Amino acid sequence: MGRRRAVVVSAGTVVVVGAAVAGFRSLLHRQARIARKRIGKPLGEDAMDADRVWGRRHEGEPVELAIFGDSIAAGLGAERRKDTLGARLAKGVARQTHRAVRLHTAAVVGAESSMLAAQVDGLPDDYRPHVAVVIVGGNDVTHRVPIPTATGHLVATVARLRARGAEVVVGTCPDLGALRPVPQPLRTLGSRMSRQLAEAQAQAAARAGAHVVSLRRAVGPFFVTQPDEMFSLDRFHPSALGYRRTAEALLPTVLAALESPTAQG
């Protein structure tokens, strides 16, 4: 009787735990639907086209700056071309180096790490950026892409860009815990997953030869403490100020990358 009772109790425990897990998953799915409804797509799916030569008053051959990744890299949320991340970086490089900067934005709104390959494929065969900036990861988290899979795509992209002669700067996945429209406990789960991905990205990208900037550490606190100023009207993508802060965090590393022998060559 004792053994039979133990089996019954164990089976009952499994049923209860299974029901709890199923209930938690159902809660997360409901909260994800709520978050999507709250955020919506008021900005559309196309970022401002900021590709041009910035700092034309400077003489000499321009610096070639390329941007890869998702909607943050593309600049969705900026209302003016000069406020996109790429333009902010281009202007900063031009100001510090006294050289013009030709910006090429390959980033695509909604991109996951698996889509980086297509962005590199779309480059002209003879295009050789001095510095390539890659920001990706948020969509990998929301779509539950396994971390090894996401980082594998990132590493492959770093290798391909370096093979083109570019120095690569990787801005790691932002902390999704700053997204106020996402209800709890989904927001906490997103924060934990985005941090885990960012840490894996940093380690993998550094091993692949990239320069790494932790966006969570560098600008995350601004988005947490100043959400009304740092986010655009959808409360999901950065505002002009959000992009300015992000560019300021990336710029020193971009400038350091430009000083490397690879970029100088």
Catalytic sites, residue numbers: 71, 234, 237
How far the first Cα of the chain sits from its last, in Å, is 80
For residue 163 the two structure tokens come to 């093979």
Q: Give the integer Cα–Cα distance in Å for 264 and 256.
A: 11
Please answer whether residues 116 and 54 qualify as being in contact, where contact means their C-beta atoms are separated by less than 8 angstroms: no
The CA–CA distances, whole Å, from 207 to 72, 117, 158 equal 24, 19, 10
DSSP 172: P
Asked if the bond preceding 185 is cis, omega within 30° of 0, the reply is yes
Q: Give the integer Cα–Cα distance in Å for 128 and 169.
A: 15
